[in-house]
Structure 1
Amino acid sequence: MLRDDLKAAQINAMKAKDKERLAAVRLILAKVKDRDIELRTGETPADDDAMIIEVLQKMGKQRRESITMYRDGGREELAAAEEAELAVIEEFLPQQMGEGETKAAIEAIKTDLGATGMKDMGKVMAELKARHGAQLDMSKASALVKASLS
């Protein structure tokens, strides 16, 4: 389970005295715990790993945006710190699909749904997320779907 992998990574980072990695793993575990608390009031999630992957994807997206902003502002040292955190976050994410694989998946979904134009974009995106959500950056996939349907 992914949660166990995160806890093991935390212990290994402590033993190795790797402060940066330890801080990043603790940050991930804190976000997962926050999400656990949020979900206590709602329905129980069916898949714990899916919830953790969702949290990791959100954290990765935030880091990428921060890196861009820091670079635009000339704060290279802060961008480097964010990149280090992003590298740790990406270690726990499943292997992401390449652009070619993503395009092939989009075409398969378009064929299955009979999607022809932009009016079908919502259906295609929903199906793409259902089938391949953990393996895709949905913002990049959105641009590919839009290009494919126009």
Structure 2
Amino acid sequence: MSLKAKLQEDLKSSMKNKDTVKKSVVTLIRASIKQHEVDNRVELDDDAIIDIISKQLKQRRDALDEFKKADREDLVSETEAEIEVLKEYLPQQLSEEELNQIVKDTISEVEATSMKDMGKIMSAIKPKIKGRADGKLVNELVKKNLQ
């Protein structure tokens, strides 16, 4: 079953079960997909849909940090619930150990020696971790391994 079909089925079931959080998140994902397809006149495959979901997950995580700083517990709990729903549609996330190993392997592959090679490393890592890791964490691990 394609990701698009799964989103359609989950929307139906969340409406039947009156799961408002899941319904709103799935609706936003589907709207983003539709917007992208209309704007670019393309039919998105699962990889492109994963990119859209990853972007939405990143937005929620950034918002979560801001809500915590502002001490808005109502928005924190709602955003955490939305993050959990978004994670359902992404591939299994890599552990920090697995991610660290990928970073080390990539650094040796591209023969990086300093922070000047950061862009080269990140562009080599991106396809390996697509949708399976947070870019901010990857960035921190690369910096740590280059020191």
TM over 0.5: yes
CA distance in 1, matches of 2:107, 2:81: 38
Find out whether 1:117 has 2:118 as its counterpart.
Answer: no
CA distance in 1, matches of 2:29, 2:96: 27
Aligned residues: 146
Show the 5 A alignment for 1:13-28.
13-28=14-29
- 1:2 shift after superposition: 1.0
The structure that is helix-richer by fraction is: 1
CA distance in 2, matches of 1:71, 1:48: 35
Q: Give the 3-state SS of the residue equivalent to 1:135 in structure 2.
A: coil
Query: 1:36: which partner in 2?
Result: 37
| 1:75-122 CA distance string (max 9 Å, x none) | 111111111111111110111111110110011112222222212211
- 1:30 shift after superposition: 0.9
| 1:57-77 CA distance string (max 9 Å, x none) | 111111111112112112111
Query: 1:2: which partner in 2?
Result: 3
Query: 1:149: which partner in 2?
Result: 146
CA distance in 1, matches of 2:50, 2:122: 18
Q: Which runs of no fewer than 5 residues in structure 2 stay unpaired?
A: none
Scaled by the length of structure 1, the TM-score of the pair is 0.89
CA distance in 1, matches of 2:75, 2:131: 28
Q: Identity rate of aligned residues, in percent? A: 34
Query: 2:59: which partner in 1?
Result: 62
Give 2:79's match in structure 1, choosing from 82, 91, 110.
Answer: 82
Query: 1:99: which partner in 2?
Result: 96
Scaled by the length of structure 2, the TM-score of the pair is 0.91
CA distance in 2, matches of 1:115, 1:72: 37
Spell out structure 1 runs of 4+ moving beyond 6 A.
none
CA distance in 1, matches of 2:71, 2:108: 46
